[in-house]
Structure 1
Amino acid sequence: MKRREFLTAAGAVAATAPIAMPAIAQSAPAIKWRCTSSFPKSLDALYGSNEYFAKCVSEATDGKFVIETFSAGEIVPALQALDAVQSGTVEMCQTACYYYVGKDPTFALLTTSPFALNTRMMSAWMRFGGGQELATEFLKKFGVIPITAGNTTAQMGGWFRKEIKEVSDLNGLKFRIAGLAGRVMQKLGVVPQQIGGGDIYAALEKGTIDAAEWVGPYDDEKLGFQKVAPFYYYPGWWEGGAMLHNLINIQKFNELPKQYQAVLRDASAEANDWMIAKYDSLNPGALRRLIANGAQLRPFSQPIMEACYKASNEVYAETSAANPDFKKVWDSITAFRGDQYLWWQVAEYGFDTFMIRQRARGN
């Protein structure tokens, strides 16, 4: 049959036959879930990725699987998102696991930890380095399934009301800082504070805290920290690439059709890429604006970095000795990190360093 004859015949059949619906639309049940986030709506990269995730789920199922999203405080406070999933108040949450170090310090390693992995390395470890399997095994004890759903990329070191030049300047500092970094800072005299994102500005303004780390230029600009704590430090050595997760109630996940389980994974992966791209796109312009509006950019001094690195290794050793789950995950991360930096220093670092120098020369 010639091509023209084939197309004519196919058109005749199509005109008389009913349009076939996708298999998932024919067999899939109508399901509605609720997802609470640990982030406020004002943070359109963090919380926005959650809305984007829900949109992807709905579109992939022809509107049959609907996930209603809620920002921090609408159902439960920011730091109680996991508890809401465990209790069945909601089916899932979007959160950072390191908010729950009070339950077990191993949670921190699933988001980011001091001097650990950068964004690309964290993604590689989770997908191909055994991270997903370790995370799933650990979080099963808490009744949830983890699915990677975002990364803030490397973060800044935070906002300080006064300059921090020497290690001694950290002594007595009241610092809003999450995860294991708080324990590291304690060794250097810092008094760590865990405060939800929406409450940081007021705490800085009132002097309840002396410093705060949040994310990076784009999100920090929205919260206006430069108005009350002008010294903006880098790098955020405790968050080389902060990974977010969708934590899903195991029972609810297992009740889903297999197609819906796959959709959750695919939509989470899409949201993960979306968040990384958004931050990479928007952070440079935000940094320029922050500096133009009074932010004073400062690097942590080499003595401070060295002291923090030493204190971090002490925390890792102490925690590993007391917690087998933590040791198992941390040993996996450090082995992976060693191989990654062997490669990174050859290709990624070599290329980026050259290009940064060219930019500095105006080329």
Structure 2
Amino acid sequence: MLRGGHNGSLPAPVKTSPSLVRRDRRTAGWLLLAGVAVVLMGLAEETTVLGRTSVWWHLLPVTVGLAAVTVQRRFPLTVLGIAVLTAALDLAWGWSLASVLVLWEVLYTGALAWPWAWVERLRRAVVGLSVAALVVSGIVRLDLRDAANIGLLAFAVLVTPVWWAVDVRRQADLAELAARNAEHDRQTAVREERARMARDLHDAVAGDLASIALQAEGGLRHAAAGTPERNALNAIRASGVRAVGELTRMITLLRRDGDQAADDLTTAPGLDLVGDLVRHAERSGLAVQAQVDPPPELPVAVDHAAYRIVQEALTNAARHGAGEAQLRVSGDDDAVGVEVRSRGRRTTVVPGSGLGLLTMRERAEGLGGEFESGWEGTGSGDQDWWSVRARIPVQA
């Protein structure tokens, strides 16, 4: 909504845009054409206080008023004064509908753009002028019917555009208030849902993960050094501790508001920690050939998304693949690319929900990137490769 100054200040130049300036110029052009049409259709009087003149003289004050309309957002009070003077001059030349349209435009835009305190003063002024026209015409003409007609005409010319603009402005304010309330309700619902998710994760998942890590640590006390059992228990304990840390961070993030959550994103893991993911995958029995060369100084959101895609892809390779994977992280000034390939299938198929692939796709495409996954071959043999590829723009 257009506003100028503070509530008690003079109508200052309204901060506008090129589109609004073009709108004012187009309006002035159309009103000039309307003025010419008014003259051609005979909707302008020839009788003036000085006698009969050409109706084309009406275009002179109208043109001056329309020139002022093109700068009405920079000089609101000045333009209003010019519009009133040109309307009075046009009235002295008789009367024409074109000058009324110019005055309407200036009053409407002023009531729409000025601060509310000055709009109230403008409204009182036009109502007062309309009443004054009624009273003065009644005294001068001594004819109630003529006085009523003049009062109604003054009301239509002066009050109607102001009333119309005030109504538009109030409707816009109500719509803005409704939008703010809806946004507030949405944010409240999101906060409540985040809090509920945080409670559920803490109560239903975090305890079980911590228990797994503790039981694995207990089992290490009875497992002989260097045995496959001890290596497996070490991997289980490390995975459990890591998962508890990740889950704790997620719960904390869910409990924070939007600004705090955005701040917390700056500490989120990125591609500089891919080496930890590779070592974790290798402890799980996955042989990984890694080539990591990401672009320097990636945006935090892009860096974190790429890290999570690598993490999920390696996890899937360990769960579903035959034990061998290739990781390649590369990029340039435009984008960062992630590719993870895993050979064959496990003998014992670990069931999956497909949510991992969906999450990776959402992370990539949510930042304007691309994601694809599938078999390089039929997928029926041990020598076929399952590949995951993502490309995320650096300026996401």
Task: Please classify the TM superposition score into its range, dividing by the shorter chain length.
Answer: under 0.3
Q: TM-score under structure 1 normalisation?
A: 0.21
Greater relative contact order (Cα < 8 A, sep 6+) = 1
Structure holding more helix per residue: 2
The structure with the larger Rg is 2
Q: TM-score, normalised by structure 2?
A: 0.20
